[in-house]
């Protein structure tokens, strides 16, 4: 029977992929995959033909009889036929290093993984040894993809050099930023790349145990990774003797429990230890005293999943792509009110305007873009006037913003930035761990002050007060939650001041 690939990514499921797979059963050999990340075409199914795979989308279950009658299994013409997926402009213009296999392979077939270049990175790491592995990652210029952008090789070296028999690798898969879904897609679409990346890390720094801390809001990703971990143990990729190398390494997945702040690395460690997810003061760095007080590498999932490419293809291949000090690729996640919403992995340096207008195609609603929030709930709202900003850690910081985990949330001209600023404070008040006062109390007071501004109550005085409060939170908070909430608030105030004056205008008329 002809092979047809149907995604099992949670987003594809939300759009009816299971029903499509059921309708195809008996007519084709259905293989479930991850998503290619073109969500306006999901569920996007692909038929294996002598001319390569041919994509159709978006396919609903009720389209299947018509598609079969039109010759779907031969890749025949149909209104939903998209052609060869790799030739679709959205995919053809990407540089897929980390997401090279996502949406293509069977996520739970280690043989498929190997057939598509998997395990080459780990084999090379075993061949060259820990010191040269760390050197390779350092030379690649890879930086932490969770948002902080800390050089990965330096973090690894610090942990490798720390004294201690027991060391840990912790993967931060607590992907809580709105507008981000890269971790989820990879866990569901290519979980072995994470396992391989963690194994390389473990052998490089001398760790025998790894944890993946996954948010509980991702039940499908949790199930997919657990299934992959079981296969990896059975096939000897994990366990007492990783690929026959003599190195012992195993991974355990732990589910979070709905606390956003547990995406902060020290809070995550507290949670893994079975405590309240309250932030720790640094130092000591987790690299010296991390999980259960032992030297620990805490890396974002995308950082760890980028490592196999670096080892397999070499540091230079990774480093030659990028912009300024931001080397390699970033999976940019287009979200919110955007026409072509999806995952776009590319070298750093595209401008925000290129991302939103050229790649994203503007808004889904068809109205003008008014604001773009980059980097999740702690990221700044940028107006189109800043669309010339290159996607790069330093360039965004220079404009009082951040790229975070790569989420780009687009809003049309119906957005009220005063309401968005209020939401930022509300979110912070709900999610604050409570350890430091600027975040715990400041967020509540911030919400109240914005309420008064929105009601037109002594606006100038309250705007000064809000600015002063943001300054206190930025410099007085213990972690990035309270420390970065001023970014969305102050960017809204700086770039969209008219939204904070609306009630007064109404009163004057």
Return residues touching another protein (CB under 8 A).
10-11, 13-15, 39-40, 42, 175-181, 183-185, 216-221, 254-260, 271-278, 292, 333-338, 341-342, 364, 373, 376-377, 407, 409-412, 415, 420, 423, 427, 430-431, 433
Minimum separation from the CB atom of position 342 to another protein (A): 6
Q: Looking at beta carbons only, is 273 or 468 nearer to another protein? A: 273
Minimum separation from the CB atom of position 182 to another protein (A): 9
Q: Looking at beta carbons only, is 67 or 433 nearer to another protein? A: 433
Minimum separation from the CB atom of position 508 to another protein (A): 27
Q: Looking at beta carbons only, is 152 or 267 nearer to another protein? A: 267
Minimum separation from the CB atom of position 293 to another protein (A): 12
Total residues found in the chain within this entry: 509
Q: Looking at beta carbons only, is 50 or 274 nearer to another protein? A: 274
CA separation, residue 355 to residues 103, 186, 342, 498 (Å): 22, 21, 11, 26
Is residue 323 within 8 A of residue 349, CB to CB? The reply is yes
Tokens 């499509």 belong to 20
Start-to-end CA distance of the chain, whole Å, equals 72
Look at residues 14, 480, 429, 430 and name the one whose alpha carbon lies nearest to residue 218: 14
- Longest distance between any two alpha carbons in the chain, whole Å: 78
Q: Looking at beta carbons only, is 126 or 272 nearer to another protein? A: 272
| Backbone φ and ψ of 469, nearest 5° | -60, -40
Q: In angstroms, rounded to a whole number, what is the distance separating the alpha carbons of residues 497 and 344?
A: 32
Minimum separation from the CB atom of position 216 to another protein (A): 6
Minimum separation from the CB atom of position 169 to another protein (A): 14
Q: Looking at beta carbons only, is 125 or 221 nearer to another protein? A: 221
Q: Looking at beta carbons only, is 112 or 190 nearer to another protein? A: 190
Minimum separation from the CB atom of position 434 to another protein (A): 8
Cβ contacts of residue 496 below 8 Å, gap of 6+? 370, 371, 381, 383, 417, 418
Cβ contacts of residue 442 below 8 Å, gap of 6+? 428, 469, 472, 473, 477, 482
Q: Looking at beta carbons only, is 123 or 220 nearer to another protein? A: 220
Q: Looking at beta carbons only, is 112 or 345 nearer to another protein? A: 345
Is residue 90 within 8 A of residue 344, CB to CB? The reply is yes
DSSP state of 337: S
Cβ contacts of residue 385 below 8 Å, gap of 6+? 495
Cβ contacts of residue 507 below 8 Å, gap of 6+? 456
Minimum separation from the CB atom of position 274 to another protein (A): 3
Q: In angstroms, rounded to a whole number, what is the distance separating the alpha carbons of residues 137 and 445?
A: 44
Look at residues 505, 118, 105 and name the one whose alpha carbon lies nearest to residue 308: 118
Q: Looking at beta carbons only, is 118 or 256 nearer to another protein? A: 256
Omega before 286 within 30 of 0, i.e. cis? no
């Amino acid at each position: 029977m002809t092979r047809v690939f149907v995604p099992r990514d949670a987003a594809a499921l939300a759009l009816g992929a299971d029903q499509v797979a059921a309708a195809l059963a008996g007519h084709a050999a259905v293989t479930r995959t991850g998503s290619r990340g073109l969500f306006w075409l999901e569920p996007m199914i692909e038929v294996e033909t002598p001319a390569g795979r041919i994509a159709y989308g978006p396919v609903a279950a009720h389209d299947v009889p018509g598609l079969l009658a039109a010759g779907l299994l031969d890749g025949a013409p149909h209104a939903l036929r998209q052609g060869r997926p790799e030739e679709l402009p959205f995919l053809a213009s990407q540089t897929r290093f980390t997401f090279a296999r996502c949406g293509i392979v069977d996520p739970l077939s280690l043989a498929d993984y190997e057939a598509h270049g998997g395990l080459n990175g780990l084999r090379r790491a075993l061949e060259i040894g820990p010191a040269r592995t760390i050197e390779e990652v350092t030379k690649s210029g890879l930086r932490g993809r969770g948002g902080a952008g800390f050089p990965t090789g330096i973090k690894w070296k610090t942990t490798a050099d720390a004294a201690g028999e027991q060391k840990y690798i912790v993967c931060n898969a607590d992907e809580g930023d709105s507008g981000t879904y890269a971790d989820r897609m990879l866990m569901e679409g290519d979980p072995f790349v994470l396992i391989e990346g963690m194994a390389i890390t473990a052998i490089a720094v001398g760790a025998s145990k790894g944890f993946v801390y996954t948010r509980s809001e991702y039940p499908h990703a949790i199930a997919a990774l657990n299934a992959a971990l079981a296969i990896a143990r059975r096939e000897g990729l994990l366990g007492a003797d990783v690929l026959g190398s003599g190195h012992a390494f195993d991974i355990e997945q732990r589910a979070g429990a709905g606390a956003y702040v547990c995406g902060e690395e020290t809070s995550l460690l507290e949670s893994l230890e079975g405590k309240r997810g309250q932030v720790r003061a640094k130092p000591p760095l987790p690299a010296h005293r991390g999980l259960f007080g032992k030297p620990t590498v805490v890396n974002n999932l995308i950082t760890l999943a980028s490592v196999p490419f670096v080892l397999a293809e070499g540091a230079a291949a990774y480093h030659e792509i990028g912009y300024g000090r931001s080397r390699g690729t970033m999976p940019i996640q287009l979200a919110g009110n955007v026409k072509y919403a999806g995952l776009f992995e590319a070298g750093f340096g595209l401008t925000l305007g290129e991302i939103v207008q050229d790649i994203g195609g503007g808004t889904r609603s068809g109205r003008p873009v008014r604001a773009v929030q980059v980097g999740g709930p702690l990221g700044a709202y940028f107006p189109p006037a800043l669309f010339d900003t290159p996607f790069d850690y330093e360039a965004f910081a220079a404009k009082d913003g951040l790229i975070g985990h790569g989420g780009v949330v687009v809003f049309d001209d119906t957005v009220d930035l005063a309401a968005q600023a209020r939401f930022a404070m509300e979110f912070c008040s709900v999610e604050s761990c409570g350890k430091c006062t600027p975040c715990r109390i400041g967020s509540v007071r911030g919400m109240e002050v914005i309420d008064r501004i929105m009601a037109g109550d002594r606006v100038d005085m309250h705007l000064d007060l809000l600015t002063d409060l943001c300054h206190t939170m930025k410099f007085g908070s213990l972690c990035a939650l309270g420390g970065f909430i001023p970014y969305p608030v102050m960017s809204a105030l700086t770039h969209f001041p008219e939204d904070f004056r609306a009630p007064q205008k109404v009163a004057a008329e």
